[in-house]
């Protein structure tokens, strides 16, 4: 997998989302990932997830984003920001009428930039379903690869790990990789 610093801008053709890596782990000795994101109004929320070891932050520059954090909804507009503690279930969606531009951060950076690059490459190759999810076999490789950076809330982590243990070897036998 290429390092996060190899690419500074990425594009997801499935959603139209763009990311520009302003500061990466390589730039900050691993302390911070800072990204400018452009999220078109799709009305489709990302899956409920956690960053188990990272505090994340979003500051809206323009447009609106609706966040659900620990079951509570909050709409951010220009000038608003939100900090999400590590391990807190959350998702967001642009259900407005215009692109939402935000500065998003993750502390520590870990390999989150690598995750986004991998995920956007899958989208470029048309390897995500209508909900933006990879196949179950590909997920069985992605899940453990980026477990420190991001985890789905459901099914529970213990169930996911059991599935990864069973399906990961099958995926590798079929020639799949996390990327």
Contact 64, 25 (CB under 8 A): no
Residue 167 within any structural domain of the chain: no
Residue 165 within any structural domain of the chain: no
What is the token pair recorded at 18? 């763009």
Residue 66 within any structural domain of the chain: yes
Residue 158 within any structural domain of the chain: no
Q: Where do we find the tokens 């997830």?
A: 49
Print the domain residue range for 75: 4-110
Residue 99 within any structural domain of the chain: yes
Residue 139 within any structural domain of the chain: no
Whole-prediction pTM = 0.92
CA–CA separation, 109 vs 166, rounded Å? 29
- Backbone dihedral angles phi then psi of residue 174, each to the nearest 5 degrees: -85, 5
What is the token pair recorded at 9? 């801008």
Query: What is the count of structural domains for the chain?
Result: 1
Residue 74 within any structural domain of the chain: yes
In this predicted model, what pLDDT tens digit does every residue of 148-177 receive, in sequence order? 999 999 999 999 999 999 999 999 999 999
CA–CA separation, 140 vs 166, rounded Å? 8
In this predicted model, what pLDDT tens digit does every residue of 111-160 receive, in sequence order? 999 999 999 999 999 998 877 889 999 999 999 999 999 999 999 999 99
Q: Cα angle vertex 48, ends 113, 60, to 5°? A: 60
Contacts of 154 (CB under 8 A, 6+ apart): 48
In this predicted model, what pLDDT tens digit does every residue of 52-79 receive, in sequence order? 999 999 999 999 999 999 999 999 999 9
Residue 116 within any structural domain of the chain: no
CATH code at 57? 2.60.120.10
- Tell me whether strands 81-84 and 55-62 are parallel, antiparallel or unpaired: antiparallel
DSSP-derived letter for residue 115 is H
139: how many CB neighbours lie within 10 A of its CB?
Answer: 19
Task: Report cis status (omega within 30 of 0) of the bond before 68.
Answer: no
């Amino acid at each position: 997998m290429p390092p996060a610093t190899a690419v500074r801008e990425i594009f997801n053709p499935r959603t139209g989302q763009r990311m520009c890596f302003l500061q990466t782990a390589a730039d900050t000795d691993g302390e911070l990932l800072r990204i400018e994101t452009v999220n078109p109004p799709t009305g489709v929320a990302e899956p409920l997830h956690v960053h188990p070891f990272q505090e994340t932050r979003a500051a809206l520059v323009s447009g609106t984003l609706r966040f659900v954090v620990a079951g509570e909804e909050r709409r951010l507009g220009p000038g608003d920001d939100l900090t999400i503690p590590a391990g807190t279930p959350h998702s967001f969606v642009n259900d407005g009428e215009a692109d939402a531009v935000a500065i998003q951060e993750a502390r520590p950076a870990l390999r989150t930039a690598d995750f986004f690059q991998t995920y956007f490459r899958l989208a470029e190759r048309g390897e995500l379903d209508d909900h933006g999810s990879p196949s179950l076999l590909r997920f069985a490789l992605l899940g453990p690869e980026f477990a420190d950076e991001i985890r789905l809330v459901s099914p529970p982590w213990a169930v996911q790990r059991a599935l990864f243990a069973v399906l990961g070897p099958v995926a590798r036998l079929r020639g799949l990789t996390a990327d």
